[in-house]
Structure 1
Amino acid sequence: MEEKRILVLSVDIDNDVGEKARIKGPIVGRKENLDAALKLGEADPEDTDVNTIFYAVKIYDELSKQHKQAQVVTLTGDAHVDYHAQSEVVKQLEKVILEFSPEACVFVSDGASDESIIPLIQTRVRIVSIKTVTVKQAKELEKTYFVILEKLKEPQIAGIVFGIPGVALLLFAFSEFLGIRVLLGVLGSYLIFKGIGLEARFLRLFSRTRISFDKANFIFYFAAIAFLVISIILGVNEAFVVQSLGLNNLPKEAALVLKEFLKLLPVSILLIVIGEVLQAIQDKRTYVLPNYIVSGSGLMLFWLIANNAADWIVGVTAFGEFFYSLILGIIAMTAVTYLAREFKRAIISRMNLEGKDAYTDIGGFIGKVVGINKRRETLILQTSSNQKIDLEFGNVAEVGDKIIIRY
C-alpha cells in the first residue's frame, strides 16, 4: 500500500515569528521549526506560539515512526490579523502543497485566532486532526493577568481600549464639554455598527477593494476622499458654531451638526459606488452589480431618513412627515433588495459555472464547481480530496474558462 503524505501544520496567524524572531514563513522541516521556536523563545519567552511549534514538532516525531512521508511546517500571517494575514497564510500553504503534495493534515493551534484559518485550509488539504495547545499555569489569577496583558498587545483590542479614551481626552482638551458629547456619539455609533454586524461587512468590503492608477475606480475614490474630508470639516465647524450659540439643547445641537455633515457625505459614498460599478463592468463582473444597486439605494434612503429626522428634531418638519418618510424608506429598501436579489440569481443562472475549475488569484487550485446554491448565493466546490465546500459568490474575482477566487 502506498504511504500517505502527512503534513503537520502550525499557523502563527499574527506573525510573531516574523516580528520577533525575524524569520519568514513558511518554515519547513524539523530543524528549521526547532530553530524558529528557540529564537522566538529567546525574543519572547511568554509567546504561546513557541509551545505550538514545539508541539507540532513533537507530533511530527510521533507520526514519522508510522509515516515516512511526513513533514512539519509553520505558516506565518500578518501582525494585523485580518484579510492580509489570511491571504499570506493561504499563499504560503499553496507553496507548501505544490512542493510536498500532502494527502492529509494535522492542524496544531494555540487558540481561536489561529483556528479562524481552518476553513481556508480545508479547501486545499484534508484536515484529519486538530490539536490545541494549552499552556499550564499554577494560579488562575496569574493566568488571567497574562492573558489580558497579551490581548492588550493585539492591535485591534489596543485600538479600542486605548484609542477611544485617547480620542476622548483630545476632544475634551480642545472643545471643553462638547468633547464628551462627541465621544458618546462616536462610541454609540461604533457599538451599534458592531452590534448589527456592519463593522465586519465594511471590513470585508474594504479588504476586497482594489485601487490602482490604471483602474476605472481610481478617480472616483480620489474625488470621494475629497468630499469626505470636506464633510468632516463642515460637521466639525458646525459643532463649534452650535457650541458658541449656547443652545443648551443636545438633540438640536446634534441634529444641526448631522445635517451639515450629511450635505456632502452621500456624494462621497455614491462616488465610491459608481466607481465600483464601472470597475465591475470593465472587469466583466456583472454578477456584483445588484450588490451595488442595493448599496446605492440604501445610502440614498439613509440620507433621506437622517435628514428628515434632523429636520424634525430642529422643528422644521412635523413628526408625521418624518414617520411617513421612514415607513416609505423601509418599504422601498425591502423592494429594492428583493428585486436586486432576483436580478443577481438570474445573472448567476445564465453564467454556466458548473464544471469549471476554481483557482486562487495566485494560481492555487481550490476545486471544481459541482453546483450552485442560489438561495444562499454560494458556489458548491468539490476539492481534490473529494470534500464539498460552499464558497460565497462575493469571493469570485473573475469568471472565464476558469473561476478566480480572491479571499
Structure 2
Amino acid sequence: MDVLVLCIDRDDDLGRKAGIKSPVVGREENLNAALTLGLADPEESDTNTIFGGLKIYDELAAERSVEIATITGDEKVGLSADRKLAEQLEQLIERLDPKSVIVVSDGAEDEAILPIIQSRIKVDGVRRILVKQNPSIESTYYLLKQVFTDPKISHTIFIPPGLALLMFSIFYLLNYPNGAIIAITGSVGLYLLFRGLGLDDFLDETKKTLRGSLYAGKISFVTYILAGMLIIIATIQGIANVWYSYKGPIWYGYLTLLMLFINASVWWYVAAGICANVGKLIDMHLEGIKDPRTYSYPFFLFATGLIFWGASIVILANFTQDFSMSPLSSIQYFAVCAMGAMATALLGIKLKSYIAKRNGAGRELLKEGVQTKC
C-alpha cells in the first residue's frame, strides 16, 4: 500500500462520546464513525477531521493505493495519550505496511505527536481541518464559552486565580493580610510546578490503577492505600524534624534542613515503595503473571534508602552541633551503607536472574510435555 490517511483524535472523543474503539480502518468504517460521533456531539471538531480524511482518501484513491484510519489517544492528553497513539500506529504499520502517511488533525494539539509518527514512518503531508465560524459577536461569545467549558483549558486558566482569591480571603478573615502575599505566591507556584512536572497525569494514572485494583478485587488496592499512608507519615515526620530544628537556637542552612528531612523520612518512603511492590507481586502471582524484574525492585529501593540515609548522616555530622556521631565515624558509616547498598542491589539482580532462568526452564519442560503428548 502506498499511502495511509491517518486521522488523529488525541483526546479520544471518538471513544468517550461515540463508544467506538480505535483504530478505525477503512472508508465505510470511518464514515460510520464520523456520523456516530456527529450525532453524539454535533459540535465536535473531530467529526470534521474524519470527514476531511475521507475527502483526501477519495482524491487519492483514483491514483494510488490508499487506506484511511483513525487512531485515538486518551482523555487526559499527555504521555498516556501519546503512548496509546504510538501503539495503534505501530499496529497499523504492521497490518497495512504503508510506505508513507498523510496526517489529518483539527489543530496544533493533535499535531504535537508528529515527531512520534515521523520516527516510525515517512510523513508525506499534514492537513489541518478548521471549522469555519460566523464572525458575529454572538458566534465569538459562543466559541469562547465552548473553549472555557473544556476541562483541559479551564483547569489551566481558572485554578491559579481561584487559588489566589481563596488564599487572600482566608488570610483576610484571619486579620493577617500581609501573609496573603506569601500564601498566594506559594499556592500558585506549587500548582504551576504540579502542572509543569506532569504530576496531574501521574495522579490520574494512580486513580485509574487504584480503581482497577478495587474493581478487580486485588490485594494491591490495600497495599497501595497503605503505601499512601506511609508516604504521608514520612512527609509529616520529615517536616516535623525540620520544624523542630528550625525552632532551635541554631540555623543549619537549607541543605542541612533537607538532610534532616531525608534522615527522618527516608525509611518510611522505602517502606511505602516496598509495600506497593509486594501487593503487585501478590496480584501477579495470583494471576499467573511472571515478570522477574519486579522481584528486584524491593532490593533496589532498600539500597537507595541506605545511600540516602548514609549521606544524610555524613552531612548532619559535619555541619550540625550535638549530633550523635562524629564526622569521622559518619564517613565510615556511609562507606558501610554504600557497600551494603551495592550488596543488596547485586542480591536483587541475582534473584531476578534466578527467577528468569527458572521460568525459562519451566516453559521448556511444559513445551516438551506438550510435544510428548502430541
Residue 81 of structure 1: which of 56, 67, 77 is its match?
77
2: CA distance between counterparts of 1:325 and 1:132?
60
Letter paired with 1:234: Q
Aligned partner of 1:10 in structure 2 is 7
Alpha-carbon distance, 1:261 to partner = 3.8
What is the aligned partner in structure 2 of residue 404 from structure 1?
none
Q: What residue number does 1:367 align with?
A: none
Q: Deviations over 1:51-107 (max 9, x none)?
A: 754553243113322468x5433222212135653676589789999xxx6454735
Report the Cα offset of residue 164 of structure 1.
Answer: 12
1:290 aligns with 2:293: no
Aligned to 2:54: 57
Which structure 1 segments of 5+ residues have no match?
137-149, 357-399, 402-407
Deviation at 1:41, TM superposition (A): 11
Question: What are the within-5 Å matches in structure 2 for residues 47-196 of structure 1?
Answer: 53=50, 55-66=52-63, 71-82=67-78, 84-85=80-81, 102-104=96-98, 106=101, 108=103, 113-115=112-114, 118=117, 129=123, 131-133=125-127, 176=179
SS across alignment from 2:70: strand
CA contact (8 A) 1:109 1:130 kept: no
Q: Per-residue deviation at 1:289?
A: 1.6
- Please identify which structure carries the higher helix content: 2
User: C-alpha displacement at 1:272, in angstroms?
Assistant: 2.0
Matches within 5 A, 1:159-238: 176=179, 211-212=213-214, 214-238=217-241
Identity of aligned residues (%): 17
Query: In the TM superposition, what is the alpha-carbon distance from 1:163 to its structure 2 partner?
Result: 6.6
What is the CA–CA distance in structure 2 between the aligned matches of 1:270 and 1:131, rounded to whole Å?
A: 49
Q: What aligned pairs does 1:361-372 form with structure 2 within 5 A after superposition?
A: none
Listed one character per residue, the Cα deviations across residues 160-201 of structure 1 (whole Å, up to 9, x for unaligned) are 99679959x9599699598699889989x989x97xx99999
Distance 2:227 2:236 in 1: 14
1:266 aligns with 2:270: yes
CA contact 2:53–2:68 (8 Å) conserved in 1: yes
Decide whether the 8 Å contact of 1:13 with 1:89 is kept in 2. yes
Bigger share in strand: 1
SS at match of 1:215: coil
Distance 1:180 1:23, change over 3 A: closer
Q: 1:285 to 1:37 in 2, by over 3 A?
A: closer
Matched residue type, 1:74: T
2: CA distance, partners of 1:109 / 1:186: 37
Are 1:308 and 1:322, in contact at CA under 8 Å, matched by a contact in 2?
yes
Whether the 8 Å CA contact 1:6–1:103 is kept in 2: the answer is no
TM-score (norm 2): 0.56
8 Å CA contact 1:17, 1:76 repeated in 2: yes
> TM-score, normalising length from structure 1?
0.53
Amino acid at match of 2:301: S
Task: Tell me the CA shift for residue 350 of structure 1.
Answer: 5.9
Computed over aligned residues only, the root mean square deviation of the Cα atoms, in angstroms, reads 6.0
Q: 1:77 to 1:181 in 2, by over 3 A?
A: closer
Residues 264/243 of structure 1: CA separation in 2 closer, same or farther (3 Å cut):
same
For residues 138-171 of structure 1, give each alpha carbon's deviation from its aligned partner in whole angstroms, at most 9, with x where no partner exists: xxxxxxxxxxxx9xx895997799679959x959
Deviations 1:8-47 (A, max 9, x none): 332212235567xx44444564534665897899747xx7
Q: How far apart, CA to CA, are the structure 2 residues paired with 1:162 and 1:323?
A: 47
- 1:299-314 aligned at under 5 Å gives the runs 299-310=305-316, 312-314=318-320
Query: For this pair of structures, how many residues does the alignment match?
Result: 326
